[in-house]
Amino acid sequence: MTDTTTNAEIIAQHYAANDRGDLDGMLAPFADDVRWTEAAGFPYAGTYIGPDAVAANVFARIQEDWDDYTVAIDEIVDGGDVVVGIGTYSGTNRRTGRFFAARVAHVWRLADGKVVAFEQFTDTELVNRALRD
């Protein structure tokens, strides 16, 4: 990352790392005390502090629970220190075999080139339908 890298570019790099399955690249821009909030009603709901907690409580669990889980971001809104990623989640739950697709918005807050906070907004009911027997 150079001094001219924008916050929106930092977030775009995170999403590109996600697309490659590169966990280290996904975690690279996170501050040591990043506050990561998954929406109430989402299977991994809660606020996790620090990159290790995010990796264990969100990213690893998604890998365990879903086949072909994707986060397809089609727009990144550059608000300076606040960046919004808009797209679609999709995947098939391994236990039920049910597929879902739901629109999503991610609100990223950055300071000094590091992600200090993340908040997810999505239609949790669409996700939860895939979890039900």
- In the chain, beta strands by DSSP E: 30-38, 46-49, 66-79, 82-93, 99-111, 114-122
3-28 pLDDT, tens per residue? 689 999 999 999 999 999 999 999 99
Spatial strand order in the sheet of 114-122: 46-49, 30-38, 114-122, 99-111, 82-93, 66-79
Query: Please, what are the domains in the chain?
Result: 7-131 (3.10.450.50)
- pLDDT for the residue 39: 97
% of the chain residues with pLDDT over 70: 98
75-86 pLDDT, tens per residue? 999 999 999 999
Residue labelled with tokens 């990352």: 1
pLDDT at 73 over 60: yes
Range in 1-5, 62-66, 67-71, 76-80 the model is least confident about: 1-5
The Cβ-side half-sphere exposure at 26, using a 13 Å CA radius, reads: 18
- pLDDT for the residue 133: 84
pLDDT at 48 over 90: yes
pLDDT at 99 over 70: yes
- pLDDT for the residue 26: 98
User: Could you give phi then psi for residue 91, rounded to 5 degrees?
Assistant: 170, 170
